[in-house]
Chains A and B, each alone.
Chain A
């Protein structure tokens, strides 16, 4: 699969993507492109439509209008398992893990989806080591702290060995140290895969230093480096003004 893809290939594209809830235009005619191996952050104030946009990409919501293309394939209205089937790893804003199962089982269920039993076991062990979950691997996920559950979910994303990774607020509720490790992990994933990261935390975005897309009221306000955005007057008004 990867041999056919090249850097500068568009791998995610939306065309006038809209998602309306009754009168609320949560996402409004968004044109967006992501290149292969790119790391992109989506930022914007609360309610800007980032998560809704994200859910349209992952099949959790079916858009009101417009199209989503992943690797030039029209995935508008596809189901989440079909999107995942393309090799896309997804982490939602509200942690979605198998609470009643062990850390091991959580990761294994992800690895085993795409790999033979032997390879799946190896990948599970690898992932647990990589995310330093070794000490808690037999624990029930529901009993873990919030930050640890986030890591289990990240582990599930990594274990599937995806070429495109979509993360909605991966550092939410993490301690400072955990956040730094998450940023490190994201950069590591980025050596192999493209990423879209929805994030609220400026500090965190500076840590992973990527191209940033700024959402505001369901639309893309601007797209630039974090530095340029922090210096832009309009961007500061909608977002940074009441945070900095």
Chain B
């Protein structure tokens, strides 16, 4: 595929990215600071959803514990930032720690040819192990460098600072800009990745692993690759999350969050990147709105939404909307093709 093809395929990605940029620069002027701070958290979760959309929707790997890499990133960032006395390198450490952990876990899972079902079980188990291990670190003896682990109370996360000045912390509205920019960059990166040879092979492996192998692709390497990359993206989400909330606690690793990530992708649609992002924002606002009342139970509503989508919109939001549009456009395009064909035959006759 040449450069122009890549650009053509990425056109929708750029359109959504542009919408994101416009939103990024207008939101702080029209929304209240409280909403902006809340939005930062939603953006962080959207990055997490994006990472699962990549590894599950395109890599075909149902990672039930994507939130483990998210939480690991948040913890690594917090601990590193406390020790370094600055955030810039801590972000890098967060991405590296989560990716390295994913690479190690992925190596045993993929090269051990563990079946897909067990992969979900293993990643979820790892997440819950983190949950119970970190919860137990409440004594003063549990420190990593200068950082006190804090058990179930977690750790206060140092806010982001300017890269060239560790003393000047970003204000919440600036953190919002950083978060939004990170989401847009991660989205464009993923959108680009799936148009590359690597990305297309991953999709091929998702469709038929044996066929990919028979063509000469070592599926284990590709799976390991996309798994590791998606863990790095989840870690970026984790960094943003602990910045939005101001602290990180072991609750990030609980079963509820693990399941929630899956729900975002199911609702948004597997095989798309924008769907899960939009679904995350939608469900985030729905649950915060529901949090303000006591008529309906939050989990009950989420459960009903999940069942609704699984049964009635099994492809998820984005693919369903796309299908709807292409079905409406198809007759027109077919007519165009007929016209062009007629013109061609006319030309040969002339």
Contacts and interface: CB of A to CB of B under 8 A. Distances in A.
B214 A84 contact: yes
A156 B210 contact: no
Contacts of B212: 81, 98, 109
Interface of B: 1-2, 197, 200-201, 203-204, 206-208, 210-219
- Main secondary structure on B side of the interface with A: helix
B214 A98 contact: no
B214 A96 contact: yes
Interface centre among B200, B204, B215 (most CB of A within 10 A): B215
A152 B167 CA distance: 62
- The 3 A-B pairs of least Cβ separation, nearest first, read A84-B216, A98-B207, A80-B213
Interface in A135-193: 156, 160
A113 B218 contact: no
B208 A97 contact: yes
Chain A: interface residue count, which band? 20 to 34
28 contacts: A58-B214, A79-B218, A80-B210, A80-B213, A80-B214, A81-B213, A81-B214, A81-B216, A84-B216, A97-B211, A98-B203, A98-B207, A98-B212, A99-B207, A101-B207, A105-B204, A109-B200, A109-B204, A110-B215, A112-B200, A113-B216, A113-B217, A114-B216, A117-B1, A117-B197, A121-B2, A156-B211, A160-B215
Interface in A24-65: 58, 60
B87 to A, nearest CB: 40
Nearest to B207: A98
Interface in A219-235: none
A93 to B, nearest CB: 12
Interface in A95-130: 96-101, 105, 108-110, 112-114, 117-118, 121
Contacts of B204: 98, 101, 105, 109
A98 B211 contact: yes
Contacts of A80: 210, 213-214
Nearest to B197: A112
Contact of B208 (A96, A112, A113, A118): A96
Contacts of A98: 203-204, 207-208, 211-212
A70 B314 CA distance: 46
Interface in A55-87: 58, 60, 79-81, 84-85
B134 to A, nearest CB: 39
- Main secondary structure on A side of the interface with B: helix
Contacts of B213: 79-81, 84
B62 to A, nearest CB: 16
Contacts of B1: 117, 121
A156 B215 contact: yes
Nearest to A85: B216
B217 A81 contact: yes
Contact of B216 (A97, A99, A160): A160
Contacts of B203: 98, 100-101
B212 to A, nearest CB: 8
Contacts of A110: 215
A90 interface: yes
A90 B208 CA distance: 14
B208 to A, nearest CB: 5
B89 to A, nearest CB: 37
A14 interface: no
Contacts of B217: 81, 113
Contacts of A97: 208, 211
A92 interface: yes
A142 to B, nearest CB: 9
B207 A92 contact: no
A104 to B, nearest CB: 11
Nearest to B209: A96
Contacts of B197: 112, 117
A101 B212 CA distance: 13
Contacts of B219: 81
Interface centre among A84, A92, A160 (most CB of B within 10 A): A84
Given A97-B208, A98-B204, 19 more contacts: A80-B210, A81-B212, A81-B214, A81-B215, A84-B216, A96-B208, A96-B214, A98-B203, A98-B211, A99-B207, A100-B207, A109-B212, A110-B215, A112-B197, A117-B1, A117-B197, A118-B2, A121-B1, A160-B215
Contact of B211 (A79, A96, A118, A160): A96
Nearest to B213: A80
Contact of A113 (B206, B207, B215): B215
Contacts of A118: 2
Contacts of B208: 96-99
Contacts of B207: 98-101
A84 B212 CA distance: 10
Contacts of A100: 203, 206-207
Nearest to A111: B215
Interface centre among A60, A90, A96, A105 (most CB of B within 10 A): A96
A113 B197 CA distance: 9
